């Protein structure tokens, strides 16, 4: 199977099971979780079933195109099933069959792997899924998002597309993966890996990144009307009513801050103590967005409660 056939097979599989097929987010994200189709939709009572590819950037993982396994940008296939159906593991295993892999002829293991995103104030419990010793997916039951308890719980499946493709195509070097017939992964991305690694590690303007971080952080406060004062128990206070807040542009700014932080980190421009402070700053604005999003949905009467309540995932109906 070529890289794009894998994507198409997963799109078809999850579409047939009732997921909305949406598109990657048009800003730099570190993982599919950052896409608002996951981060925001996991908050609140409304059901949500969605699947999409997410090109994900991890500046520190860049290797100038020289390492056969590590990339500063890779592709995740992200599935969110909310509420998580009881047969979510079976659905996942079926999806492997859709990729031409019969789970009973391989060694498939669910290995404990708790997930936490300190910047997003999100965490969950779950597994890495191993296929013959290779970690091919992350499987997470979201417990908290943006510092808010999740209810119902979203089940998140994240497929590592490059790894799966390397396995299916039996190649040892990611750049040898066939993206489509006659065109390799390296033909498309090798130069990009070198340029971005050089940028992230050597040439990114530290002053500019820091400035952008500060500016976007300020923007979040402005767009949400976030007050400097805190309420009881550190509760966030807003000067704008929920529907007057611009939660989506504010969330964009959160994503930008997170990305600039990652670049600064790769650039070696952040000391250990600064690091914690930066993470805390992103977490705070992510929480402000999460709470604002929830307040907005509530003000709107949680409109998807009924319309999407019947969408389900077909075979997952309980």
Residues found near another protein in the complex (CB under 8 A): 67-69, 83-86, 89, 103-112, 114, 124-125, 127, 131-134, 141, 143, 150-153, 155, 167, 172, 271-273, 318
Nearest-10 Cα torsion for 125, 294, 79, 136:
-40
Question: What is the smallest separation between the CB atom of 31 and another protein, expressed in angstroms?
Answer: 20
CB closer to another protein, 147 vs 152: 152
d(CA 72, CA 103) in angstroms, rounded, equals: 30
CB of 162 to another protein, least distance (A): 12
Nearer to another protein, 139 or 216 (CB): 139
- Nearer to another protein by C-beta: 248 or 304? 304
CB of 204 to another protein, least distance (A): 19
Q: Which is nearer to another protein, 91 or 246 (CB)?
A: 91
Cβ 83 to another protein, closest distance in Å? Answer: 5
CB of 235 to another protein, least distance (A): 22
Nearer residue to another protein within complex by CB, 284 or 316? 316
Sign of CA dihedral 202, 208, 214, 219: negative
Rounded to a whole number of angstroms, the minimum distance from the CB of residue 34 to another protein is 22
Q: Which residue lies nearer to another protein by CB, 86 or 241?
A: 86
Peptide bond into 234 cis (omega under 30): no
CB nearer another protein, residue 114 or residue 244: 114
Gap between the Cα atoms of 35 and 255, Å rounded: 9
Residue closer to another protein (CB basis): 181 or 272: 272
At CB < 8 A and 24+ separation, what contacts does 83-89 make? 83/47, 83/152, 83/153, 83/154, 83/155, 84/141, 84/152, 84/153, 84/154, 84/155, 85/155, 85/312, 85/313, 85/316, 85/317, 85/318, 86/316, 86/318, 87/315, 87/316, 88/155, 88/157, 88/316, 89/139
Residue 113 exposed, middle or buried by CB count within 10 Å (0-12, 13-18, 19+):
middle
Minimum gap (Å) between residue 93 Cβ and another protein: 8
Structure tokens at 284: 């705070």
Closest CA to 250 of 261, 262, 238: 238
In the block, residue with structure tokens 């077909």: 314
**In the complex, least distance from residue 239 CB atom to another protein, rounded to whole angstroms:** 32
């Amino acid at each position: 199977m070529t890289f794009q056939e894998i994507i198409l097979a997963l799109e078809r599989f999850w579409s047939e099971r009732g997921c909305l097929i949406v598109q990657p987010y048009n800003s730099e994200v570190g993982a599919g979780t950052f896409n608002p189709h996951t981060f925001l939709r996991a908050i609140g009572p409304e059901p949500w079933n969605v699947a999409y590819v997410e090109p994900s950037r991890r500046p520190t993982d860049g290797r100038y195109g020289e390492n056969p396994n590590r990339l500063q940008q890779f592709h995740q296939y992200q599935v969110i099933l909310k509420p998580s159906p009881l047969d979510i593991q079976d659905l996942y295993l079926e999806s492997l069959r859709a990729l031409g892999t019969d789970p009973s002829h391989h060694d498939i293991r669910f290995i404990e792997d708790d997930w936490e995103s300190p910047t997003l104030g999100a965490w969950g419990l779950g597994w890495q899924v191993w296929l013959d010793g290779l970690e091919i997916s992350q499987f997470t039951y979201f417990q908290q998002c943006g510092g808010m308890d999740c209810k119902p719980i979203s089940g998140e499946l994240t497929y590592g597309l490059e790894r799966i493709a390397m396995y299916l195509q039996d190649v040892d070097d990611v750049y040898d993966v066939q993206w489509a017939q006659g065109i390799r992964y390296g033909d498309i991305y090798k130069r990009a890996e070198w340029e971005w690694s050089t940028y992230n590690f050597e040439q990114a303007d530290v002053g500019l990144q820091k400035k952008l971080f500060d500016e976007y952080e300020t923007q979040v406060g402005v767009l949400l009307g976030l007050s400097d004062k805190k309420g009881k128990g550190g509760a966030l206070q807003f000067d704008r009513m929920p529907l007057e807040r611009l939660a989506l542009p504010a969330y964009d700014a959160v994503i930008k801050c997170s990305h600039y932080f990652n670049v600064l980190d790769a650039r070696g421009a952040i000391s250990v103590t600064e690091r914690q402070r930066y993470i805390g700053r992103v977490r705070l604005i992510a929480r402000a967005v999460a709470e604002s999003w929830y307040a907005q949905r509530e003000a709107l009467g949680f409109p998807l409660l009924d319309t999407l309540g019947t969408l389900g995932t077909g075979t997952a109906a309980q």
